[in-house]
Amino acid sequence: MGGRAGMRPVELVAELAYPARAELGEGPVWDDLTQALVWVDIMAGRVHRLDWRSGFHRVLDVGVSVGAVGLRRIQPGSSKGPGLDAGLVLAVADGFALSGPISGPEPLAELSLERLAEPSVDTSAVRFNEGKVDPEGRWCAGTMSWDESEPVGALYLLHPSGSVQRLVDGVTVSNGMDWSEDGRTFYYVDSATGRVDAFDRDPETGALSARRLVVEIARQDGIPDGMTLDAEGCIWVALWRGAAVRRYTPDGRLDRVLALPATKVTSMAFGGPGLDELFVTTARIMQSGRALAAEPRAGDVFWCRPGTSGRPPFRYGAT
Ligand code: BGC
Ligand code: CA
């Protein structure tokens, strides 16, 4: 790879994965046990599930806005015998919740939630936006200020015991996150900073330290949004108002670009049977009628062959 410095990034080609027409499509997560893509439409309070083998799509109505979802771990010996789908851990508008299985035959269903006591956030100032389960089975999710200008948000960690810890304060728009293979580095995007940062991390406690810049996105290229690491340790970042997903090498060099037919690109996840497909969510919100007419596919989910693979998702729950 050394000789490639200065070379133009490889251009990937996007195809439509599902015409979801979401207002704010976000937070895709690949369920490797059931081979389904799960994502949310935040303001609409909906969870989408697309069975990738059959193409069957189902919408689960949460009843409140839903900032992010993660998969729950199947508890061995559970009396209910949940099969392969153990349900979700969710960040709803003001806090966290758990659900039962989300697969089923009806295209439309209601999702009932068990609300957790902590945290309780002030929904007049912030709402939850993006989350992921960490390598140790804890749920990590953050808040963003409604007007995206005040650093009043935070990043939280929910332990399987139900206790909650604040990992980062002073966050303006909490967005993408991921963990290095050894669990000792945490990558995080606060969109308002225009950066992807890294922290040192103690895998046992989840505690973060030594925040530093890894990738800076020029304002005219968009705002860094969702992110994920691939199996090579490269950084994929979605560009809100940038109509693209980019891959950066661990040393910060731009080496792949996926252009999308929607300007507001929110997040991405690796999936497919070989984890070598990439799914990308997009949004329609805050667009004028004319701008939307110019991008009829905004809010849909896109797909490409990224030329590399990702890692299976972590699952929430005690190990
Ligand atoms: C959020 C949007 C926000 C955008 C800004 C997205 O992750 O879902 O509400 O406007 O980030 O970067
Ligand atoms: Ca996002």
pLDDT digit string (tens) for the chain, length 319 residues: 444 556 899 999 999 999 999 999 999 999 999 999 999 999 999 999 999 999 999 999 999 999 999 999 987 766 665 579 999 999 998 899 999 999 999 999 999 999 999 998 999 999 999 999 999 999 999 999 999 999 999 999 999 999 999 999 999 999 999 999 999 999 999 999 999 999 999 999 999 999 999 999 999 999 999 999 999 999 999 999 999 999 999 989 999 999 999 999 999 999 999 999 999 999 999 777 778 888 999 999 999 999 999 999 999 998 7
What whole-number distance in Å separates Cα of residue 167 and Cα of residue 175?
14
Sign of the torsion formed by the C-alpha atoms of 15, 19, 24 and 26: negative
Edge-to-edge strand ranges of the sheet holding 185-190 = 174-179, 185-190, 195-201, 208-216
Per-residue confidence (pLDDT) for residue 79, from 0 to 100: 61
How many angstroms is it from 26 CA to the middle of ligand 2? 6
Angle CA 184–248–143, to nearest 5: 60
Give the type of residue at 261: P
Strand duo 164-171 + 153-158: pairing: antiparallel
Q: 213 is written with which tokens? A: 């810049």
Q: How many other CB atoms sit within 10 Å of the CB of residue 149? A: 10
Closest alpha carbon to 179 in 132, 218, 217, 146 = 132
Q: How far apart are the first and last CA of the chain?
A: 38
Would the CB of 225 count as within 6 Å of ligand 1? yes
Cβ 174 vs Cβ 181: under 8 Å: no
Q: How many other CB atoms sit within 10 Å of the CB of residue 297? A: 16
What whole-number distance in Å separates Cα of residue 16 and Cα of residue 3?
34
Ligand nearest to the CA of 190: 1
Q: 167 is written with which tokens? A: 């990992």
Would the CB of 129 count as within 6 Å of ligand 1? yes
Per-residue confidence (pLDDT) for residue 3, from 0 to 100: 44
Cβ 73 vs Cβ 137: under 8 Å: yes
Shortest-distance Cα residue to atom 8 of ligand 1: 129
178 carries an active-site annotation: no
Per-residue confidence (pLDDT) for residue 159, from 0 to 100: 97
Per-residue confidence (pLDDT) for residue 170, from 0 to 100: 98
Beta bridge partners of 256: 10, 247
Shortest-distance Cα residue to atom 6 of ligand 1: 266
Would the CB of 26 count as within 6 Å of ligand 1? yes
How many angstroms is it from 266 CA to the middle of ligand 1? 7
How many angstroms is it from 3 CA to the middle of ligand 2? 33
What whole-number distance in Å separates Cα of residue 46 and Cα of residue 280?
17
> Residue holding tokens 């997560």?
29
Q: What is the CA radius of gyration of the chain?
A: 18
This prediction has a pTM of 0.95
